[in-house]
Chains A and B, each alone.
Chain A
Amino acid sequence: AQSVTQLDSQVPVFEEAPVELRCNYSSSVSVYLFWYVQYPNQGLQLLLKYLSGSTLVKGINGFEAEFNKSQTSFHLRKPSVHISDTAEYFCAVSDYKLSFGAGTTVTVRA
């Protein structure tokens, strides 16, 4: 069985400030890790994914995430956010089936 915990349900941040969204997972087998973003009234869109290799993964829109196997974490970061980054962010883990966390709402303020 696998599960995902997103440690922050809401993250308010000012424009041009950095942001970090925390994600921890549990699984008894090797997994793949994903971050998806959901803009208002839209479906989910892949930001980035970790399959193997380098633990630092770069994604779209300036986001990156670091896989830490010993801490079973996959935190998402962006050094400078824009108003347009206001959205819900979901961390997900997959062995053969995708399991999502509850999501983190990011609100970027001017």
Chain B
Amino acid sequence: EAGVAQSPRYKIIEKRQSVAFWCNPISGHATLYWYQQILGQGPKLLIQFQNNGVVDDSQLPKDRFSAERLKGVDSTLKIQPAKLEDSAVYLCASSSGTGGQETQYFGPGTRLLVL
């Protein structure tokens, strides 16, 4: 079974530029998550989708971050414009359901450096 795929793996941009990350979840998984992991901290949930609808985006900085999941499969996360404090690893995860007991399967992450 193929795992969660993410691209790119690394990205370096200057502040005020825009950037986009792509995620392909495990086939058949209805729920997709985007997390931000700042160095030295645990992952923090940015947004959760079930199919192509948003379940939770309470911690997404909506003035600069946006995410979509067209057709309930792939997802993109965009930052525009980027700030220095956005430097982090962005992790995508997927699960088969939405209950709190579900195991989430994580991709390798995209490491973003904002200069």
Q: Do A and B bind each other?
A: yes
Residues of A within 8 A of B (CB): 4, 31-32, 36, 41-46, 49, 51, 90, 92, 94-103
CA distance A103 to B104 in the complex (A): 17
CA distance A29 to B87 in the complex (A): 34
Q: How many A-B residue pairs have CB under 8 A?
A: 53
**How distant is A62 from chain B, measured CB to nearest CB, in Å?**
19
Complex interface: stretch among B62-70, B74-82, B95-103? B95-103
Q: CB within 8 A of B104: which of A31, A41, A98, A101?
A: A98
Q: CB within 8 A of A103: which of B41, B91, B98, B101?
A: B41
A42: chain B residues at CB < 8 Å are 108
B42: chain A residues at CB < 8 Å are 4, 90, 92, 100-103
Closest to A34 in B: B103
Taking a contact as CB atoms under 8 Å apart, the answer to whether B106 and A49 are in contact is no
* Residue among A4, A96, A98, A103 having the largest count of chain B Cβ atoms under 10 Å: A98
CA distance A32 to B100 in the complex (A): 7
**How distant is B9 from chain A, measured CB to nearest CB, in Å?**
8
Q: CB within 8 A of B101: which of A49, A97, A100?
A: A49
